[in-house]
Amino acid sequence: MARPAVVEPQFRGLFLALFGVFVLYGTSMTIIGATLPRILADFHWDYVTAGAVIAAGAIAYFLSAFGSGYLIQAIGPKATVLIGVVLDLIGLAMFGTWSDPVVNLVLNLLIGVGQGCIEVTINSAVVRLDTKKSGAPMTFMQGAFALGAIIGPVALAVLLQAGGSWTLVYQGMAAVFFLLLVALVLLKFDLPLEMTASDAGNGSPPQKARLASHPAYWMAFLVLFLYVGVELGVSNWISEYFIQSFKLDPSAGSTLVSVFWVGILVGRFGVPVVAPRSHPDRLLVVFTAVAAGFIGVLTVLGFFAGPSWIGVGVAAVFGAGLGCSIIYGMVLTLVGATFPFAQSQAIGFAATGGGIGAFLFPFVMSVLSQAWGIQWGFAAYAGFAVLMTVSAVGLVRSARKAG
């Protein structure tokens, strides 16, 4: 039996273009975690200051994600994503130029607004392109995010080994964003007509009315609140965690970010190939449990192990990434299928949950790490990952009732 196509032939050109945008978006979302040890050393920030700068981008992101669901229907997907690219370009070009945390906080706010516009626009489009409701296109698209997340830390490691400044990574990304901006201006967003009709408000009134009253609407928000907080929390702090817990050389710290995102990449590209007909709801529950398990292993190792266990720790980082890999895509696929007449709004609200999680979790990590050590920060993440698994079960049950 022939494998089903991930994307219908008529949509492949647009899908590939959006895939390229998401690669760079993934790099912009995670590079601060790879550069964090250098930022702390060069700018002499403490954990709380660094957490505030990281959280500023998350605040902007979740506000932008919520608003973008409505902005898309007002000005269209192309204009919305162009706004996001311009803001990211400006923020990345200047981030790290000055050591003042307030200046960098404002720049990260700009980056966060741009990221929200890009995230919701592309995810809404991909849900529409997934005519079979399999979740495979969304999983592949999230794989683009993971690919970008790997490229950034690897580029940083190469740059540092060559004696370059870590700020060059941000400036180089800004240059690529400029080229991307030119390409997007010329790109035709040939989206399915269903997107225009439903997002313009022509959907079924009963479907519209149940958007905020159905449990799935709120459970999707909760799952992504916990998931994004855990995922970006591990990504942003894993280098420092290994430096403190396993006495890893700081020059090698950024590679742990890549290990985590390699695990995510393997899952996002591998699951649609290995299990193309699997049900999104079942995959969601299994992979949240895997993520929680491996983050728990990392936590235990941080408290009780030492440098001799670094190999096991690296394997657990990969496993945590694998568990996290398809959670976001499966949640959005379930949301899109549950609310077919208000997809951009429902996706935007779910993404807002992720943004709030990314905002709050750095404070939890920074405060716990400052007071009791970074190991307790990871212990909190392990607990949140367990709650994420429980919430995923709740989302699946509520989505099935909606069907």
**CA gap 246, 63 in Å, rounded:** 37
pLDDT for 193: 44
> Contact, 22 vs 125, CB < 8 A?
no
Distance CA 280, CA 192 (A): 22
Number of other residues whose CB lies within 10 A of the CB of residue 303:
12
Inform me whether the pLDDT recorded for 192 exceeds 70: no
Q: What is the structure's pLDDT at 201?
A: 43
As a whole number, the mean pLDDT across the chain is: 82
| Residue at 339 is within a domain | yes
Q: 121-170 pLDDT, tens per residue?
A: 888 888 877 767 767 788 888 888 878 877 877 788 788 788 788 888 89
Residue 190: what pLDDT? 65
Q: Which of 284, 289, 286, 288 is nearest to 400 (CA)?
A: 284
> Contact 73/199 with Cβ under 8 angstroms?
yes
The amino acid at 283? L
Structural domain count of the chain: 1
* Range with top average pLDDT, 123-127, 181-185, 246-250, 388-392: 388-392
The answer to the question of residue 112 being in a domain is yes
Q: What do you get for the CA distance between the two ends of the chain, in Å?
A: 28
Could you read off the pLDDT of 301-345 as tens digits, one per residue? 878 777 778 888 889 999 999 999 889 888 988 888 788 777 778
Is 248 inside a domain boundary? Answer: yes
Domain that holds residue 334: 13-402
Q: Is residue 5 part of a domain?
A: no
Q: Is residue 8 part of a domain?
A: no
Yes or no: say if 168 and 290 are a contact pair by the CB < 8 Å rule: no
DSSP conformation letters of 90-141: HHHHHTTSS--HHHHHHHHHHHHHHHHHHHHHHHHHHHHH-TT--SHHHHHH
Asked whether the beta carbons of 145 and 260 are under 8 A apart, the reply is no
CATH number at residue 104: 1.20.1250.20
Q: Is the model's pLDDT at 58 over the cut of 80?
A: no
pTM: 0.75
Distance CA 361, CA 364 (A): 5
* Helix, strand, coil shares, percent, the chain, to 5: 85, 0, 15
The alpha carbons of the chain give a radius of gyration, in whole angstroms, of 20
Counted residue by residue, the chain has a size of 403
Average pLDDT over residues 263-271: 87
Q: Residue 403's pLDDT is what?
A: 55
* The predicted structure's pLDDT at residue 1: 46
CA distances for 351 relative to 207, 259, 354, 356, angstroms: 20, 25, 5, 9
Residue 11: DSSP 8-state? G
Residue-wise pLDDT for 6-43, tens only, equals: 667 777 777 888 888 888 888 887 788 778 888 888 89
Percent of the chain scoring above 70 in pLDDT: 90
Contact 327, 266 (CB under 8 A): no
Tell me the average pLDDT across 252-262. 79
Determine the pLDDT at residue 111. 94
Domain membership flag for residue 2: no
4 in a structural domain: no
Per-position DSSP letters for 35-87, written without gaps between them: HHHHHHHHH---HHHHHHHHHHHHHHHHHHHHHHHHHHHHH-HHHHHHHHHHH
Specify the amino acid at residue 226: L
3 inside domain: no
Is it the case that residue 371 has pLDDT exceeding 60? yes
How many whole angstroms separate alpha carbon 190 and alpha carbon 203?
21
For residue 298, give Cα distances in angstroms to 160, 292, 304, 384: 27, 10, 10, 14
C-beta neighbour count of 348 within 10 angstroms: 25
Q: What is the DSSP letter of 10?
A: G
Residue 271 has pLDDT above 60, yes or no: yes
Ramachandran class of 96: left when φ > 0, alpha when ψ lies in -120 to 50, beta otherwise: left
Supply the pLDDT for residue 402.
61
